[in-house]
C-alpha cells in the first residue's frame, strides 16, 4: 500500500557529520565573549547571553556552589527547589550561550539531588553544549531528574557529550525547535535517551545509545520518544545493550524518521509505536535483540522512504545502507508580529491575536472574539503558541513568553475572549515569565453547559498578574495554576464555574486583592502545597475555603 509522505533531505543529516569532519564547531565570532572557568562558582558567574564559557578539565558539582539554594547574583540563572528539598540549576534568557568543556572524558557536570535536572536551559536561542559529560552523582541509585533539559529554546546543539544516569532522560526538550544531538553518548539513564514534547526538527545523529533502562531491573519506557510537533529524526546511531518497553515511539509527530541505525543486543517489548502519523524507517540493521513484537499496541505501520508499509519480515531483513530521501517540508513556526514603537499591538480578531503572541509587548484586544474563528484553528503553530488536542477540540497554549501583557481596550472588562471545546482550557500558559492579563472577560462560548476545561491554566510560570478580569463558566475553574511563583489577582470576578473558583498547587507568593468568587461549588479556593498566600492583606493558612458575601475567607472541610 502506498502512502504520500514528506521526508527529509539528506543535507539535514549531514550537518552534524560535516561538523565532525571539520573538527568541531567554527570559532566564536569576534564579538563573542569567551570566559575560562575552573570552578562551579566561576561557571555560574559566567553564564549569560553571547558568552562562550570554556570549562577547564575537572568536576563541577552544582551542590558545591557557595550560592547553592540561594540567590546566585546572576539574573540569568537561579536555583529551583525540588521535591527532595534540594535544588536544580535553571538558566534562562541566554541567547548565544555556549558551554564548552575540555572533552567528554575531561569535564563533568554533576547534580546530587536525584529529583533535579542536572541543567535546565529555557527561553533561549542559539545554545550549544559541547565536550562535557553530565549526570547525577555517580553513586548507584534511581532518580527522577533528567540530565539536559531544554524548554522553549531554538537552535540548540548538543555535541560530543556524555549524558549518563542516574538520570531519567539524557536530552529532554519541550517546545523547542531545531535541536541537534550529535557525536554524543547517552548511557545508563532510567527512562529514555531523548524525549521531545511539542518540538520542531529534533535530530539525533551519529551517537551511541547504550545500557539505558537497567536501573532497579526496570526497563526504560522508550529510548526515543516524541509527542506532537514536526520533524523527529534518529540517524546513524548505534543503539545497543538497552532494556526498554519501546525503541522508537511517536505520537502525532509529523515527519518522524529512524534511519541507518544499528540496533543490537537490546531487550525490547516493541520496536516501534506510531500513533496518528506513520514514521519512515530505512537502512537500519536489527541484530541480536530480544524483541517481543515489532509494533506496539495501536501502532500504525512504519513506512519505507518510498511510502510503502513495512512488515515484520521487511524490518527483520533490513540492512545498514545510506538512505536517500526527499524533502520533509517541515512546517515553519510562525514568527510573531513585529512590535511597533511603544510596544503595543491592537487586535480585533483571533487571527490578529495569535499573530501578536510573543515576548516584550502589550496586546490590546479592542473587539470580542472566539478563538475557534481563527483561519487555521487548531492547526497552525507559532514560536510562542501551539494547539493541544482535547477530547472535543483544540486548546490554545502560550509558551515561553516573557514580559507579555494582554488587556482589553475597555477598563470595564466588557471585551471577551471565548473558546468552544468544553474539554479545553480557554487559554493555557506554560514556562512563561511576567505575564499580565487585564480588563478582559474570558470563558467558554456557552456559559450554560457543563465542561471539563478551565478558563485560565498556568504551569511552571513566574510573575502572573490578573487585574480586572472576569472568568466565568462554562469552565471547571476560573484559575488553575501549578508549580508557579508570584501570582497576583486584583479586582477579579470568578463565577458560574462547575468545580470551583481557584485551584493552586505548589504555587508560592500568592496575593488576592478585592476579588469576588461566587456562584461556584464549595470549596471556592483550594491550595495544595502553597506558601506565602495573602487574601486582602491577611495571611492564609489552610487548604480549602469559600468566600463570604462580604469578601472574607471561610475555611471548609472536604472529604
Residues 6+ away with beta carbon under 8 Å from 462: 432, 433, 434, 484, 485, 486
User: What is the reported pLDDT for 8?
Assistant: 32
Say which CATH number the domain at 432 has. 2.160.20.10
Whole-model pTM over 0.85: no
pLDDT at position 369 over 50: yes
pLDDT at 296: 95
Give the range among 18-27, 393-402, 508-517, 534-543 with minimum mean pLDDT.
Answer: 18-27
- State pLDDT tens for residues 76-112: 999 988 866 788 999 999 999 999 999 999 999 999 8
Contact 95, 83 (CB under 8 A): no
498, with CB counted inside 10 A (0-12, 13-18, 19+), is middle
Residue 141: what pLDDT?
52
How many domains does the chain divide into?
A: 2
Same domain, 143 and 92: yes
> Per-residue confidence at 449, pLDDT binned at 50, 70, 90?
low
Do 303 and 379 share a domain, yes or no?
Answer: no
- My answer on whether 287 and 362 are in the same domain is no
For residue 474, name the pLDDT band (cuts at 50, 70, 90): confident
Q: Is the model's pLDDT at 355 over the cut of 60?
A: yes
Residue 337 lies in a domain: no
Answer with the one of 299, 317, 335 that is the final residue of a domain: 317
Q: What is the mean pLDDT of residues 541-558?
A: 91
pLDDT at 394 over 70: yes
Residues 358 and 273 in one domain: no
Cα 31 to Cα 27, 34, 124, 191, distances in angstroms: 11, 9, 19, 40
User: Is the same domain home to 272 and 142?
Assistant: yes
The reply to whether 70 falls in a domain is yes
pLDDT at residue 484 greater than cutoff 60? yes
Residue 17 has pLDDT above 50, yes or no: no
The whole-number pLDDT of residue 157 equals 98
- What is the rounded average pLDDT of the residues 120-147? 84
Classify residue 169: in a domain, yes or no: yes
Write down the mean pLDDT value for the chain. 88
15 has a pLDDT exceeding 50 = no
Q: Which residue has cell 570552578?
A: 39
- Answer yes or no: is 477 within a domain: yes
Residues 309 and 383 in one domain: no
Q: How far apart are the first and last CA of the chain?
A: 56
- State yes or no: pLDDT of 156 exceeds 70: yes
End residue of a domain, out of 282, 317, 352 = 317
> At a CB cut-off of 8 Å and minimum separation 6, what does 303 contact?
3, 5, 278, 279, 280, 281, 309, 310
The answer to whether position 267 is within a domain reads yes
The three cell numbers locating residue 478: 476560573
Say whether pLDDT at 140 is over 60.
no
Q: Does residue 329 sit within a domain?
A: no
Give the per-residue pLDDT at 14: 30
Of 317, 332, 356, which closes a domain?
A: 317
Q: Which residues pair with 458 in a beta bridge?
A: 429, 481
Residues 348 and 290 placed together within one structural domain of the fold: no
The half-sphere exposure of 314 on its side-chain side, counting CA atoms within 13 A, is 13
Q: What is the mean pLDDT of residues 179-197?
A: 95
**328 falls in which pLDDT band (50, 70, 90)?**
low
In a domain, 335, yes or no: no
d(CA 162, CA 181): 11
* Higher-confidence position of 545 and 451: 545
Residues 369 and 253 in one domain: no
What does the pLDDT read at residue 4? 32
CATH number of the domain residue 292 falls in:
2.160.20
- Measured CA to CA, the distance from residue 287 to residue 298 in angstroms comes to 25
Would 435 be classed as within a structural domain?
yes
SS3 16: helix
- Cα separation, 43 vs 48, in Å, equals 10
Residues 387 and 260 in one domain: no
Residue 33's CB: how many other CB atoms inside 10 A?
13
Most confident range, picked from 30-34, 176-180, 429-433? 176-180
Together in a domain, 357 and 417: yes
Residue 264's pLDDT band (cuts 50, 70, 90): very high
pLDDT for the residue numbered 309: 95
Position 20 scores a pLDDT of 30
Asked whether the predicted pLDDT for residue 22 surpasses 60, the reply is: no
Task: Report the C-alpha dihedral over residues 25, 11, 252, 378, rounded to 10 degrees.
Answer: 90
Residues 497 and 390 in one domain: yes
Q: Is the pLDDT of residue 9 over 70?
A: no
Expressed as residue numbers, the domain containing 384 is 344-555
Residues 189, 243: Cα–Cα separation, whole Å? 10
Q: What is the pLDDT of residue 398?
A: 92
Nearest to 275 by CA among 304, 303, 251: 251
Burial of 66 (0-12, 13-18, 19+ CB in 10 A): exposed
Examine the domain organization and report whether 237 and 292 are in the same domain. Answer: yes
Amino acid at each position: 500500500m502506498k502512502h504520500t509522505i514528506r521526508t527529509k533531505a539528506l543535507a539535514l543529516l549531514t550537518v552534524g557529520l560535516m561538523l565532525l569532519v571539520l573538527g568541531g564547531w567554527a570559532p566564536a565570532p569576534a564579538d563573542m565573549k569567551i570566559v575560562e572557568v575552573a570552578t562551579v562558582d566561576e561557571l555560574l558567574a559566567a553564564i549569560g547571553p553571547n558568552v562562550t564559557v570554556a570549562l577547564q578539565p575537572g568536576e563541577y558539582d552544582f551542590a558545591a556552589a557557595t550560592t547553592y539554594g540561594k540567590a546566585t547574583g546572576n539574573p540569568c540563572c537561579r536555583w529551583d527547589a525540588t521535591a527532595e528539598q534540594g535544588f536544580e540549576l535553571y538558566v534562562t534568557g541566554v541567547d548565544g550561550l555556549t558551554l564548552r568543556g575540555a572533552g567528554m572524558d575531561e569535564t563533568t557536570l554533576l547534580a546530587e539531588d536525584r529529583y533535579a535536572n542536572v541543567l535546565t536551559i529555557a527561553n533561549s536561542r542559539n545554545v550549544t553544549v559541547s565536550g562535557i559529560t553530565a549526570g547525577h552523582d555517580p553513586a548507584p541509585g534511581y532518580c527522577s531528574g533528567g540530565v539536559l533539559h531544554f524548554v522553549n529554546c531554538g537552535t540548540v546543539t548538543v555535541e560530543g557529550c556524555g549524558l549518563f544516569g542516574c538520570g531519567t532522560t539524557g536530552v529532554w526538550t519541550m517546545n523547542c525547535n531545531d535541536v541537534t544531538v550529535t557525536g554524543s553518548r547517552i548511557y545508563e539513564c532510567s527512562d529514555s535517551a531523548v524525549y521531545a514534547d511539542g518540538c520542531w526538527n529534533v535530530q539525533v545523529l551519529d551517537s551511541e545509545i547504550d545500557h539505558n533502562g537497567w536501573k532497579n531491573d526496570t526497563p526504560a519506557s522508550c529510548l526515543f520518544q516524541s509527542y506532537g510537533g514536526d520533524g523527529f529524526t534518529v540517524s546513524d546511531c548505534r543503539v545497543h545493550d538497552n532494556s526498554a518497553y519501546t525503541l522508537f515511539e511517536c505520537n502525532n509527530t509529523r515527519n518522524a524518521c529512524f534511519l541507518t541505525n544499528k540496533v543490537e543486543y537490546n531487550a525490547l517489548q516493541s520496536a516501534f509505536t506510531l500513533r496518528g502519523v506513520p514514521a519512515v524507517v530505512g537502512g537500519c540493521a536489527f541484530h541480536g535483540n530480544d524483541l517481543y513484537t515489532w509494533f506496539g499496541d495501536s501502532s500504525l505501520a512504519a513506512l519505507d522512504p518510498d511510502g510503502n508499509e513495512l512488515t515484520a519480515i521487511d524490518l527483520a531483513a533490513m540492512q545498514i545502507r545510506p538512505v536517500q530521501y526527499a524533502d520533509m517540508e517541515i512546517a515553519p513556526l510562525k514568527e510573531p508580529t513585529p512590535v511597533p514603537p511603544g510596544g503595543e499591538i491592537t487586535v480585533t480578531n483571533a487571527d490578529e491575536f495569535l499573530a501578536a503572541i510573543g515576548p516584550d509587548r502589550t496586546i490590546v484586544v479592542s473587539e470580542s472574539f472566539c478563538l475557534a474563528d481563527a483561519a487555521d484553528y487548531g492547526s497552525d503553530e507559532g514560536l510562542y503558541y501551539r494547539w493541544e488536542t482535547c477530547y472535543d477540540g483544540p486548546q490554545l497554549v502560550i509558551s515561553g513568553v516573557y514580559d507579555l501583557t494582554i488587556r482589553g481596550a475597555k477598563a470595564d472588562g466588557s471585551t471577551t475572549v471565548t473558546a468552544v471545546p468544553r474539554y479545553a482550557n480557554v487559554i493555557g500558559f506554560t514556562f512563561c515569565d511576567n505575564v499580565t492579563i487585564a480588563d478582559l472577560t474570558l470563558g467558554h462560548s456557552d456559559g450554560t453547559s457543563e465542561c471539563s476545561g478551565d478558563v485560565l491554566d498556568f504551569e511552571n510560570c513566574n510573575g502572573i498578574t490578573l487585574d480586572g478580569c472576569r472568568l466565568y463558566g462554562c469552565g471547571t475553574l476560573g484559575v488553575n495554576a501549578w508549580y508557579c511563583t508570584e501570582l497576583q489577582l486584583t479586582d477579579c470576578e470568578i463565577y458560574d464555574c462547575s468545580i470551583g473558583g481557584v485551584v493552586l498547587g505548589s504555587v508560592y507568593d500568592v496575593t488576592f486583592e478585592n476579588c469576588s468568587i461566587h456562584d461556584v461549588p464549595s470549596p471556592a479556593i483550594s491550595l495544595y502545597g502553597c506558601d506565602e498566600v495573602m487574601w486582602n492583606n491577611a495571611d492564609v493558612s489552610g487548604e480549602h475555603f469559600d468566600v463570604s458575601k462580604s469578601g472574607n475567607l471561610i475555611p471548609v472541610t472536604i472529604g
